[in-house]
Structure 1
Amino acid sequence: MKIGGKIKSVAAGVLAVSCVFAFAACGPGSSNAANTTANDEPVSTDLGDQKYELRLWDGAGLKTFDDQLITAFQKKYPNITIKATYDPDNTSQQNGPRIIASADAPDIARVTDINSAVRGHHLTNLDNYSDAYGWKLPDSQTEVYRVDAQGKIGSGSLYAIPDGVSMTGLFWNKNLAKKLGIDKAPATMGELEQDMKKAKDAGVLPMMMPAKEGGTSYIYQALLTNYEGRDAVQNWIIQKDGTTFNTKGAVKAAEQIKSWADSGYFPKDTLALDGSTALGRFCDGEGLFFPAGSWYTDSINKALGDGAGWIAFPGEKSGSSGSAAANAVTAFGIPATSKNKNAAAAFLNFLQSDEARQIAVDNGYPPIGDGAVPETDNQLLAQVLTSYEALVKSGNTTDYINNATAGMQASAIIPGFQSLIDGTKTPQQFVDSIQSQYEKEIS
């Protein structure tokens, strides 16, 4: 990895809104929008000198990122103008299916519910564009944007392209670790638990844990992946037939979370602690570990500097690349009613260029693709990029369990973890509640 150049400041508070729990509603759901008539256009990568005016729609938290991508794209294609509109992050998820399904849909749009969009024939199949441009993105970055002829997510035709990646992992305070006699990040979950016990015995908070908004799901999902394997977790998220959350591994992971809570490894106010408050406290030096997302990299790096570290969630055995939940910052698709599909596809192709990948990194995101890692002098982001590069090679990433259904986050994840931690639900009852919500929605 090269470390150089200059990283631009990211407003972590704003991005947290769009990139953290807004993800929870990015999974399959339903739409009552009426079918629209698709505008067919022969596939071509040659746009000539014709003037195009495209419209793009996204969530407001990504405006800075999108504006930079659009500016760079327009320099490459001076005959194409893109006008962007943005919805507030707390409404973009619910508005997404309606916007994509409208007769006057934008040419490029954030895909918030690929299941209903494809089922309603509201998105353009990108396979021909993929062939024409020669797109070769890693499967881990496109799996959840593929839908087969039976309407199942995970394989088949491609309907969206990510612009960058947000991923979960484990931040750690190296300065606190040094005071505790810990000189390296934990290589296994067992070592993580040993380090937390050492912190607790020394009067240091072992793990910053914002349980108010479902943040516990990040470390829980890492445990679940260790116990059940990547494919089992991913298959459940994408609603593959015959999958279930009610497994021994899911219960074991819940037991581990409950054990850590009972041992005092989480803040005393963990049930009332939201993500932004937890971030502020960790930046102030409270907490040895903080399981969170890469979207916090800029804030933590500014606060702790070289004292901040990041690793993928460790596995059960030393030597693995670890695991992470990862998803697109925005997955862009082309609505079926777009009148300028070839020009819109040129923008999706640009997202995979070295220039766009650098813009992603400049905004604090791992880039799509598996080419040379772009430069950054944010040492913490450099650690994120290194860990993501290894995860792309190992393939040990999944989508977020929060994304399994549209209502999973609000109806099951948040109340479920709160009830698990406070003892209202047993680990088995917690697991049952997750699967119950899942079955309720997919049926």
Structure 2
Amino acid sequence: MARRVRSGQAGAALVIAMGTLAAACAAPGSNSPQPAATGTSSQPTSQSAAPTCGTAPITMNGYFETGFPLPKALTTEFSKQHPNVTWNIREDQFAVITQNAPRVLADNPPDLMRLPQVSELVKDNLLKNLDGYAQAFGWDKWPASQLEQLRLGPGGRPRGEGSLYALGLNFSMTGVFYNKKLAAQIGMSTPPATLAELDAALAKAKDAGITPIVQFNGGATGGLAFPLQNLMAAYGPPGPINDWIFQKPGATIDTPSNLQAVQHLERWVKAGYFQKDVNAVDYATMMSRFIDGQGLFMFNGDWESGNLDKQMAGNVGFSLMPPAQQGGKQAAMSAPLTFGIAANAKNADCAAFFLNWVATDQKARDVGVEVGGSHPMGPADAYMPKVSSDTVTASTLAAGADIAKDNGAMDFIANATGAIYAKSWTPNLQKLVGGQQTPQELLKAVQADYFGQIEGN
């Protein structure tokens, strides 16, 4: 069931970072769409001034992912600073959003929406082109890498270039969280430096009666894709994986290094390093088990850093996936929490103003780091809040800097097409766990599904 939340001061809802804005400052006759009315003025947005939320009462409609505190914290602070703005938020699990996105954007267009993969949504003209807003607010002067994954060519492909159709509340990254108390029980005082050291820690945990990895893989959007992509990063470079995700011609996921990654994941499964019911575990259950101390490691994103600093203060460590060889470069899934503005959004200008506020307001950036646990988007020289060195948030921020230095950022393999996560990665990984599919068969099946979905569009 979808849950609706109304709030004046507290505006509710999760991952609303990206509700990007549409061409607010497009010149007359340009190809960029003109801004939608905000409900605050009947006059069109001026070319000389960026849009705002005005001063008249306005209710923002959002469709967000349930289970994450950052968007709610940001909307709460936004309404404190802009009391004329209230929020009407619908929340669903990401798997439901993935299925509902086209219908919701077409039939009941929200001002801001947590987005699944965006290529098909752009192809079907369901999202606003944000180029005008980027010019008005100066987003095009931010580091180009922040926006690359959110740019799409005509008709929704290729990704990585073209017009801007989304933004993120922050730049998130996946890696390996670990329980420090359980780590001490197996003599682990620092994170594993190589994949072999990680394997050794997993074996020691199992021998000690500790569940080595708490992970989710139930439902339509399973979580074994997280450790799998981390293993892909350990065995091979990120470039070919990004090419596949961005639908570059000739790209394939069925490569020798990715086969090594799937084979390694299969060895973990067969060794009993995941809980026996992993195919039935959802995200919330995984988080509950990890917080309760029921497992040593968890592959997850830095969006949980703030939560873990509160729930397990001083007892959580974080590291990037160790490379296969000592001293090797590290890579990780690092991408914005994607939000967009519906093509027919009523309050697009206010949505754009909110997104710009998230990236540039000092208090908003404080909230982004303290609650979200990851690096805010925005100008390269923007204010960054200080973080205590003994927190997991400090570790995730430092890891993000390492990824940037090594140019090791990858988009999420679930973002290659709109259906690849729910209809290929998840069911194929569930079959792998169940012993119904080999690593070779998994990669060939995913590649075939990928090709069919691209050709079908």
How many Å separate the matches in 2 of 1:71 and 1:273? 31
Deviation at 1:74, TM superposition (A): 5.0
Which residue of structure 2 aligns with residue 81 of structure 1?
85
How many Å separate the matches in 2 of 1:421 and 1:389? 34
Post-superposition Cα deviations, 1:93-118, rounded to whole Å, max 9, x if no partner, equal: 3333334345x744444444532332
How many Å separate the matches in 1 of 2:430 and 2:310? 31
Superposed CA RMSD in Å reads 3.2
1:383 corresponds to 2:402: no
1:157 to 1:46, Cα distance in 2 relative to 1, 3 A: closer
Matched residue type, 1:132: A
How many Å separate the matches in 2 of 1:267 and 1:190? 21
How many Å separate the matches in 1 of 2:69 and 2:182? 34
How many Å separate the matches in 2 of 1:62 and 1:43? 39
1:58 corresponds to 2:63: yes
1:125 to 1:256, Cα distance in 2 relative to 1, 3 A: same
> Aligned ranges for residues 370-409 of structure 1 at < 5 Å?
370=380, 371-376=382-387, 379-409=391-421
> Aligned ranges for residues 41-52 of structure 1 at < 5 Å?
41=44, 42-46=46-50, 51=56
Tell me the TM-score normalised to structure 1 length.
0.80
2:431 aligns with one of 419, 431, 438: 419
1:227 aligns with one of 235, 244, 250: 235
Deviation at 1:244, TM superposition (A): 1.0
Which residue of structure 2 aligns with residue 288 of structure 1?
296
| Contact 1:358–1:374 (8 Å) recurs in 2 | yes
| Contact 2:321–2:332 (8 Å) recurs in 1 | yes
| Contact 1:189–1:316 (8 Å) recurs in 2 | yes
Ranges in structure 1 where 5+ consecutive residues have no aligned partner = 1-13, 20-36
1:39 to 1:180, Cα distance in 2 relative to 1, 3 A: closer
Deviation at 1:230, TM superposition (A): 1.0
Which residue of structure 2 aligns with residue 337 of structure 1?
344
| Contact 2:233–2:330 (8 Å) recurs in 1 | no
| Contact 2:119–2:418 (8 Å) recurs in 1 | no
How many Å separate the matches in 2 of 1:63 and 1:46? 30
> Aligned ranges for residues 178-327 of structure 1 at < 5 Å?
178-213=184-219, 214-298=222-306, 300-319=308-327, 322-327=330-335
1:360 aligns with one of 362, 368, 384: 368
Which residue of structure 2 aligns with residue 124 of structure 1?
128
How many Å separate the matches in 2 of 1:81 and 1:350? 13
1:302 to 1:53, Cα distance in 2 relative to 1, 3 A: closer
How many Å separate the matches in 1 of 2:57 and 2:252? 47
How many Å separate the matches in 2 of 1:236 and 1:196? 31
How many Å separate the matches in 2 of 1:138 and 1:66? 23
Which residue of structure 1 aligns with residue 146 of structure 2?
141
Which residue of structure 2 aligns with residue 431 of structure 1?
443
1:244 to 1:372, Cα distance in 2 relative to 1, 3 A: same
1:155 corresponds to 2:148: no
Matched residue type, 1:430: L
Which residue of structure 1 aligns with residue 353 of structure 2?
346
1:424 to 1:181, Cα distance in 2 relative to 1, 3 A: same
| Contact 1:93–1:112 (8 Å) recurs in 2 | yes
Bigger helix fraction: 1
Deviation at 1:140, TM superposition (A): 4.0
| Contact 1:107–1:338 (8 Å) recurs in 2 | yes
1:403 to 1:346, Cα distance in 2 relative to 1, 3 A: same
Which residue of structure 1 aligns with residue 98 of structure 2?
93
How many Å separate the matches in 1 of 2:106 and 2:451? 26
| Contact 1:209–1:216 (8 Å) recurs in 2 | yes
1:358 to 1:194, Cα distance in 2 relative to 1, 3 A: same
| Contact 1:295–1:364 (8 Å) recurs in 2 | yes
How many Å separate the matches in 2 of 1:138 and 1:305? 33
| Contact 1:295–1:365 (8 Å) recurs in 2 | yes
Deviation at 1:162, TM superposition (A): 0.8
| Contact 2:175–2:319 (8 Å) recurs in 1 | yes
How many Å separate the matches in 2 of 1:249 and 1:267? 26
1:146 to 1:88, Cα distance in 2 relative to 1, 3 A: same
Q: State how many pairs are aligned.
A: 408
How many Å separate the matches in 1 of 2:209 and 2:434? 22
How many Å separate the matches in 2 of 1:205 and 1:381? 24
